Amino acid sequence: MSTDSTTKPTGTVPDGILIGHLTPGTAAWEEARTGLTITATEIAAVVGLSPWMSRFTLWHKKAGLPTPPFEMNPAIEWGNRLEDAVADKWQDEHPGQLAAPAGTWKHREREWQRATPDRLIYPQPAHEFDVPEQAVGLLEVKTSPFGDEWGPSGAEDGVPIWYRCQVIWQMDVLGLRRTEFAVLISGHDYREYVVEYDEAEAKILRDAAERFLDDVRQGNRPPIDGATDTYRTIRVQPDGLEDRDVEIGFGLVCRWDDAYEQLAAASAALTQVRGEVLDAIGNGKRAVCEGRRIAYRTVRDGHTHSLHPYTSSKDAA
């Protein structure tokens, strides 16, 4: 995106103030997202529902403490590359409406509440060069390799909970009442969903965010949880290495010993059940049970390369 907001259609919304059309990674973009603010992509972490960031990590980020660096991966890269193409598909399916880049917004009264939706939806202007006026909704564009978190196209509960948190927050910031999703799954399966604004849900999220920011101000660190993201954050806290012993509690040692004993037993059990599932699949591709997809195999040179679990109880795409 351009950093020049004058090059973008900029309509009005009921409750939001446009900060700008900021390029991800720039100083202006980082400034709009850091400090004691909560963005739409962070709110799921606040309430413990994000699959990518833990509450522990977000607390450290907002407190100005070290957090693991962002790491680009193929899923993120191709999601970014395909965003315009998927948005174009939605545009083709919805004549009479215009989806335009949205920019970064803050709430008119709660300046700490921020959002950067993918697109704002406007009625199609009568003339090509007319500037849209009042936005009527939001468009979120997503891509997914398997789609096991998503329900059937159009399903009322088809949107993963962490994305529902994101768009409820976005609508709350801007004062809009409807978000449409355009989702491309497995590179060919196009689906659409709608999420309507829910004031009760928005209040739950706002209250949780205010409590979270208050904990940051008071230095109340969240407890350590079992998220990999939390462990990565703990790893980047120490500065340097001192050659000294640190005494830890006996109870913690017992939990350490028990966890590693359970890990060894679980590892053996997992290896056994993976072998049994792979043996049952034979030269098939997927293991299923009563319509639920359990695991799938990949092949190289005619032989099994790997066996992967589907990550949800819902059917994968």
Measure the CA–CA gap between 179 and 117, rounded to whole angstroms.
10
Tell me the three state secondary structure of residue 89.
helix
Q: Which residue has the tokens 């174009």?
A: 88
Report the chain's mean pLDDT, rounded to a whole number.
91
Shared domain check, 282 and 147: no
pLDDT of residue 314: 42
Residue where a domain terminates, one of 218, 237, 260: 218
Strand partners, 137: 121
The C-alpha atoms of residue 159 and residue 180 are separated, in whole angstroms, by 10
Domains of the chain: total:
2
> Are 269 and 165 within one domain?
no
Residue 59 and residue 172 in one domain: yes
Asked whether residue 238 is domain-assigned, the answer is: no
What phi and psi values does residue 80 have, to the nearest 5 degrees? -65, -45
Residue 226 resides in a domain? no
pTM of the shown model: 0.82
Q: What is the pLDDT, as a whole number, of residue 9?
A: 54
Residue 316 covered by a domain? no
Residues 91 and 166 in one domain: yes
Q: Which domain holds residue 285?
A: 250-309
- 151-182 pLDDT, tens per residue? 999 998 999 999 999 999 999 999 999 999 99
The enclosing domain of 141 has a CATH number of 3.90.320.10
196 and 72 in a common domain: yes
Measure the N-to-C terminal CA separation of the chain; round to a whole number of Å.
31
Cα separation, 115 vs 171, in Å, equals 9
- In whole angstroms, give the CA distance from residue 153 to residue 135: 24
Q: Based on the domain organization, do 181 and 296 belong to the same domain? A: no
Confidence band, pLDDT 50/70/90 cuts, at residue 315: very low
- Residue at 32: amino acid letter: A
Which 3 state secondary structure label does DSSP give 169?
Answer: helix
**pLDDT tens-digit series, residues 51-76:** 999 999 999 999 999 999 888 888 88
Q: What does the buried/exposed string (b/e) look like for 114-135 if buried means 16 or more CB atoms within 10 Å of the residue's CB? A: bbbbbbbbbeeeeeeeeebeeb
Q: Which residues contact 224 (CB under 8 A, 6 or more apart)?
A: 56, 230, 234
